[in-house]
Amino acid sequence: MAYQFNDTTNGTGLVQMYEEEIGAQPGDVSGNTVKLKRFTAKANAALDRYFAIAVQASGRWQLDDSNHEKYNIIEADLIANQRDYAFTVDGQGNLIKDIYRVLIKDENGVYYEVFPVDQQSDEYMDGFWSGQNQTGRPTRYDKTANGIFLDCLPDYNWRLNEEGQRGVKIFVNRESDYYVYTDTTKKPGYPYHQEYFYLRPAYEDARINTRITKGDLEKEIFKLEGDVNTGRVGLIAKAYGRRSKDETQAISGEEICSI
């Protein structure tokens, strides 16, 4: 069942299910702006948590919120002698979480794929940071912070043309399309287990409204941070530990710049 955000007519929205779950009367949340804003914040936090769980379990980084109006593809100009290209948000202002595929146009305007490596590895140090600044056709890239670094400095430009095409195409993961408290018919952009988006906020309410001790808070923090004494890996480390979804497992010879 797909739940719309707030359905006061039929009583089947996420807000109404949340009211029932916490033992509130109909309208206690939907009719109170302060409480509705708090629920909205918790529902958005649940979207983030859901995404983190689903994307790790799937083994791919192509999960995307279907409420986004445009595809999760970003284009940029390819600029001669420029190695780095930064990407913080997509064209609609959504925060980018990761990059999982990079395509570049050659001199003839045909896209080809460049492949990820770790530029800090000794094997690839020369291509990125040797200071020789080799020019040519890039074949590899490294992800650092919110951008990519190419192994070769492009020796040609491919800027926005009349067809609206640019020289770099990036496939990304981005944040969910979040709710605002005034939403009504909007539904979660993920197809499965949508009850999570009212159950998780209800759980957070129960946690907050129950007398919380220092030990309770410590447990919640340990879930996120892990515990070096026991070797238990926290949720933060698990999320980043599987981040490089675009790396392929293959044995191949060393690639060189095409000059």
pLDDT at 251: 34
pLDDT at 247: 45
Q: d(Cα 18, Cα 202) in Å, to the nearest integer?
A: 6
pLDDT at 120: 57
* Amino acid type, 76: A
Task: From first to last of the 259 residues of the chain, give the pLDDT tens digit.
Answer: 789 999 999 999 999 999 999 999 999 999 999 999 999 999 999 999 888 887 776 655 567 888 898 888 999 999 999 999 998 898 888 898 888 899 999 988 899 999 988 655 555 555 566 556 788 889 889 888 778 899 889 999 988 876 677 899 999 888 999 999 999 999 999 888 889 999 999 999 888 888 767 777 678 777 877 877 888 888 767 766 655 544 444 333 344 454 4
What's the pTM value of the predicted model, to 2 decimals? 0.76
> What is the number of other CB atoms lying within 10 angstroms of the CB of residue 60?
12
The SS3 of residue 95 is: strand
DSSP for 163-213, written as a single string: TS--SEEEEEEE------TT--S---SS-S-TTHHHHHHHHHHHHHHS---
In the beta sheet, which residues pair with residue 85? 148
CA angle 101, 72, 166 (to 5 degrees): 70
